[in-house]
Amino acid sequence: MSVDSPENGNGSGTPSWLSRLNKALSGEPQDREQLIDVLRDAEQRNLFDAQALAMIEGVLHVSEMQVRDIMVPRAQMVVVNSGSQPDEFIAAVTESGHSRFPVIGDNRDEVEGILLAKDLLAYYARNGDSEFDMDDVMRPAVFVPESKRLNVLLREFRENRNHMAIVVDEYGGIAGLVTIEDVLEQITGEIQDEHDIEEGTLIRRLKNGECTVKAITPIEDFNEFFDTDFSDEEFDTIGGLVIKAFGRLPRRGETTRIGGVTFKVLRADKRRVHLLRVLSAERAGA
């Protein structure tokens, strides 16, 4: 096994990107802003690519962020009632596309554990003819404060092999939830799953007849696909139209109806809407 050295970088006479980065940082930046400036200058000089720069900046950014900055608010959590049977919540589990669900008691402040979607497989493998007991499949819930730093949370996720934590406020009430994917996306960018749309595609039709739509879809293209006639005089994209309907930046899970079209926000952050689902579409005008 060969080991890179400062002299030859990778043993072939060509310095590795790490060696070149080390050389670029020889000016010893005095604070985080100077460090980022040096990194961006290094990227401009092709010492490493834009994707690597984005990830490095993401790592630096995560160390400054708290759980409250990225958590899914309590009102938007997809939950399962501890006293319910699979037939009562399987539709919500399937619709959400999530793999883990808080199990609650009488209200959302009583989180009793976590249900993994895969744990329902054994029940349905028996054709659902056996008695279902939530206590038999429910996993323990992990609770973290809103103020916990994301880099600390990520380390705990890795050490404990945990993927979800319930977020509590300073009074002990449930504030929301956070997943390891939420944290990693702050570093790597958005992680796509089976519900996402392929690169270059704006609208994807699902098997149930609904559609996922990127918020950047031009209104003209949306009208052509859904046979609607929304005006594009004020906004160019369907995301802009949806934000206007809410009167603010909506959060994930919120729905609105514009004319004959019902939209659900699948993905959004504090700056913009990314992905929408069209739950129903009748010919509409706006």
Is the distance from CB of 262 to CB of 279 less than 8 angstroms? yes
227: number of Cβ within 10 Å: 10
Position 279 scores a pLDDT of 83
Q: Where are the domains of the chain?
A: 17-62, 68-188, 203-281
**Topology given in CATH for the domain delimited by 68-188:** CBS-domain (3.10.580)
pLDDT at 2: 37
Name the pTM for this structure.
Answer: 0.57
pLDDT given for residue 9 in this prediction: 45
Which pLDDT does position 129 carry in this prediction? 63
Q: What is the mean pLDDT, run by run of 10 residues, along the chain of 286 residues?
A: 42 53 60 73 73 73 83 84 90 81 90 92 73 88 94 93 93 92 77 52 82 90 92 89 89 87 83 81 48
pLDDT digit string, tens, across residues 111-164: 999 999 888 887 777 765 667 889 888 999 999 999 999 999 999 999 999 999
Please tell me the predicted confidence (pLDDT) of residue 21.
Answer: 58
Same CATH fold assignment for domains 68-188 and 203-281? no
- For the segment(s) 203-281, the CATH number from 3.30.465.10, 3.30.930.10, 3.40.50.300, 3.30.365.10 is 3.30.465.10
Q: Output the pLDDT for position 194.
A: 47
